[in-house]
Amino acid sequence: MADNSVFDGSDVTDAIDKACAKLRVTQEQLAIEVVRTGTSGIFGLMRRRARIKVSLKEGAPDLDEAHAPAPAVQKKAAPRPREAAPARAKERPAARPAEPIAPAGPIDPEVLRAVETELGRILELMGFPATITATQEDGKVLARIAGDYVDDIVGPEGQTLDALQFLVRKIISRRFPGRVLVSLDAGSFREVRRQGLTEEAVRLAVEVKESGKTKMMPPLNPAERRIVHMALQQDTTIRSRSVGDGIFKKVLIYLPGQGGKKGGGRRRGPAPVAEG
């Protein structure tokens, strides 16, 4: 068997579990490279399964020997030189996608009206008419959505709301070259979501410490990923980093030495906040 084996799964954690079961080894015995994290897509479309490459760490049994039947008389083979494991990407906070820079001065009222009009038009076409109030807060436009269809507009894990936010930002950036940052909220979803993400990150960190296994949070937008990293930044026994492509990325939570560059040193002091 080749030094590297490829495994697919519904997410990275599932792929790792399959690799451990197939090779009959523990996660600690494997060097794991995430090829792709998989994605649930937008509105349930364009889903992709996660894929990883694994190789045995130094001192672990050979992949073929791990599940081959033992011969009646087994000769001890002469040690053979092992090929160097492929270099992993340097662990670092993933770069955040470029976002419009919020202006320092007052926002033109025409921008606020445009946000309300464009968002209202999209929601009407979706069959979810709503009341929209756009205001300026902290140098950005905050559009609050109220009405009978808040749950439908938010969608599973807020993905529909995030997709709407992405569309509205694109539309407004084309109409107004001043680069205005637009955020959407429906009901009190953003605050409830912040509390939920913080609690989930802390819970998964405890599980990682107890089991030693990497845990993963589902695709999150940049603001939500920052909430997760901030929730864990004071815990020096845990690492977190964003993985994947595009705006929505997953967050891996793992022990030092399991998810970053092989042989990396232990982090000293509070963890840096990964904004991507």
- List, for residues 177-195, the tens digit of each pLDDT value: 777 889 999 998 999 999 9
β-partners of residue 175 are: none
Residue-wise burial string across 66-105, b where 16 or more C-beta atoms lie within 10 A, e elsewhere = eeeeeeeeeeeeeeeeeeeeeebeeeebbebeeebebbee
Cβ pair 116, 134 in contact under 8 A: yes
Q: For the chain, what is the mean pLDDT?
A: 78
Check residue 3 and give its pLDDT.
Answer: 60
Q: At residue 191, what is the residue type? A: E
Check residue 160 and give its pLDDT.
Answer: 92
Give the residue, 56 or 149, on which the prediction is more confident: 149
Provide the sign of the torsion angle of the four alpha carbons 180, 174, 246, 97, taken in this order. Answer: negative
Check residue 98 and give its pLDDT.
Answer: 44
Dump pLDDT digits (tens) for 101-143.
444 568 889 999 999 999 999 999 999 999 999 999 888 899 9
Average pLDDT of 220-247? 91
Cβ pair 5, 17 in contact under 8 A: no
Tell me if residue 241 falls in helix, strand or coil.
strand
Token readout for 12 is 């990275």
Angle between the N-to-C axes of helices 109-126 and 159-175, in degrees from 0 to 180, rounded to the nearest 10: 130
**CATH number of the structural domain 109-187:** 3.30.300.20
How is domain 189-276 classified at the architecture level of CATH?
Answer: 2-Layer Sandwich (3.30)
Token readout for 166 is 């992405």
Check residue 72 and give its pLDDT.
Answer: 47
Confidence band of 267 (pLDDT split at 50, 70, 90): very low
Token readout for 88 is 């992993």
Cβ pair 31, 57 in contact under 8 A: yes
**Apex CA 150: angle with CA 147 and CA 152, to 5°?**
130
DSSP structural state of residue 147? S
Confidence band of 247 (pLDDT split at 50, 70, 90): confident
Is pTM, for the whole model, over 0.75?
no
Q: At residue 45, what is the residue type? A: L
